Amino acid sequence: MSDESATLKYNGQDIDLPIERGTMGAPGLDIGALRSQHGVVTVDYGFANTANTESGITFIDGNEGLLTHRGYSIADLATHCTFLEVSYLLLFGELPNTEQLDKWTTNIKMHTLLNEEIKRFFDAFPRSAHPMAILSSATNAISTFYEAYHSPSDPEAVEQSAVRLIAKMPTIAAWAYKKSIGQPYVYPKNDLEYVENFLYMMFGLPVEEKKIDPVIARALNVLLILHADHGQNCSTATVRFVGSSQANLFASVAAGMNALWGPLHGGANQEVIEMLDRIAADPDATVESMLARAKDRNDPFRLMGFGHRVYKNYDPRAKLLKEFAHEVLDRADANDPVLDIARQLEEAALEDPYFVERNLYPNVDFYSGIIFRALGFPPRMFTVLFAIGRLPGWIANWKEMIEDPRTKIARPRQIYTGPPSRAFVPLDER
């Protein structure tokens, strides 16, 4: 901690607040003693201006549209790495060498199967169940087979739980999809790489050999990397909150999945494609009319896939995905009419004063759904794909939180606005 401080004037007193500086980004005012010594708390709805931790995992410069993981740019990682390589970097802090990557990949490959009893778990859901509900439920369900590995204070148990979660998530996701379409579950194959295995379980059938297109597999690798981590976003902060009570990694990740499902967060990618489909299907819904609705404060409609709590410039992931969307659609020979609508919406919004004044740019969810659909995934699986991508980021943050000696159980305060204390009124006098 530096010996710099800021001075707050309150109640006729000068209060010195120590300043905490990291390696990059905004410094922080340490308010840790404010309530105990001066009886005052701070107010910050949504913690938009409050650091809940130090972290060395991801850095975002919202004004510059910069995103790095452990110091490496997202563009370099998406171009040169596999998803499991980036997962290793997030969890252990360094890019793996060949031996480390082989060991990591093999360890994950050996844990892709689900315990056979779990199959009946899928039978309990209606076919119409949203796969995000199955994903978070199944994450808690599989934890019951590994109770010996729940202790957050046992580093080997934590690493084994991380391996099991990363290994089994594609199997759970693929089986949730197969359940929804009434097809038999396809078991993982150990001679396939991580993403190929997932595509095989998603789109393969027991009656024929499914060849995985390497172009599609490469595209999905990139998409998972672009979703791998993103600082203290809503779902990652949720994983940290739940983990701060010493809840096990499975329970903490399941909570993060439920936070991600919200339409303002990871659920936005499904909302974007449904919005674009509505525009494509409704002759009265034009780009202009949709922008007008998005700007109308009396209309709850928002331009999904636009805006961001941190980026007040182009989300670098959206920039990469925009270029990628065209490439994938061309190669997948998938002509999706909504791509043109998306580009028209983006162009119109980026010229519209309402969006310009509020620094509203496309975010990671604006183009991802178009690519996911081109790869053959149905819209209800888009947030599941986001969750598979974000899983190593959640685990890395949970691990960093558990290992941080400054970690305390999360317990925010409030400004009470209810009735003052008052005498009880017996029922017969109310």
Helix and strand totals (H; E) in the chain: 18, 6
Evaluated on CA atoms 373, 329, 83, 195, the torsion sign reads positive
Q: Is 306 in the site for ligand SDX (CB under 6 A)?
A: yes
- One DSSP character per residue, 302-336 reads --TTB--SS-SS--HHHHHHHHHHHHHHHHTT---
> Measured from the CB of residue 20, what is the shortest distance to ligand SDX in angstroms?
22
> Measured from the CB of residue 262, what is the shortest distance to ligand SDX in angstroms?
8
Phi and psi at residue 10, to the nearest 5°: -150, 130
Among 302, 326, 331, 343, binds ligand SDX (CB under 6 A): 302
d(CA 129, CA 158): 30
Which one-letter DSSP state was computed for residue 26?
Answer: -
Location of structure tokens 């989300």: 315
Q: Is 119 in the site for ligand SDX (CB under 6 A)?
A: no
d(CA 293, CA 119): 45
Among 308, 322, 373, 399, binds ligand SDX (CB under 6 A): 308
- 262-281: which residues touch ligand SDX (CB under 6 A)? 264-266, 268
Provide the CA 182 distance to its chain's centre, in angstroms: 28
Q: Is 363 in the site for ligand SDX (CB under 6 A)?
A: yes
Q: Is 374 in the site for ligand SDX (CB under 6 A)?
A: no
> Measured from the CB of residue 322, what is the shortest distance to ligand SDX in angstroms?
15
d(CA 255, CA 251): 6
Residue number, 178 or 390, with CB nearest to ligand SDX:
390
Amino acid at 43: V
> What is the contact mask toward ligand SDX in residues 221 to 250, using x (rule: CB under 6 A)?
---------x--x-----------------
Q: Which stretch binds ligand SDX (CB under 6 A): 203-211, 259-267, 318-326, 371-379?
A: 259-267
* Given 69, 265, 308, 315, the catalytic residue: 308
Q: Are 290 and 303 in contact (CB under 8 A)?
A: yes
- Is 277 annotated in the active site? no
> Measured from the CB of residue 3, what is the shortest distance to ligand SDX in angstroms?
33
Question: What residues contact 239, with CB distance under 8 A and at least 6 apart?
Answer: 252, 253, 255, 256, 394, 397, 398
Q: Are 80 and 69 in contact (CB under 8 A)?
A: no
> Measured from the CB of residue 101, what is the shortest distance to ligand SDX in angstroms?
25
- Is 38 annotated in the active site? no
Among 85, 196, 365, 400, binds ligand SDX (CB under 6 A): 365
d(CA 122, CA 133): 11
Q: Which stretch binds ligand SDX (CB under 6 A): 198-206, 260-268, 372-380, 406-414?
A: 260-268
- For the chain, give the number of residues: 430
Residue number, 204 or 307, with CB nearest to ligand SDX:
307
> Measured from the CB of residue 86, what is the shortest distance to ligand SDX in angstroms?
14
Binding site for ligand SDX (CB under 6 A): 230, 233, 264-266, 268, 294, 302-310, 358, 360, 363-365
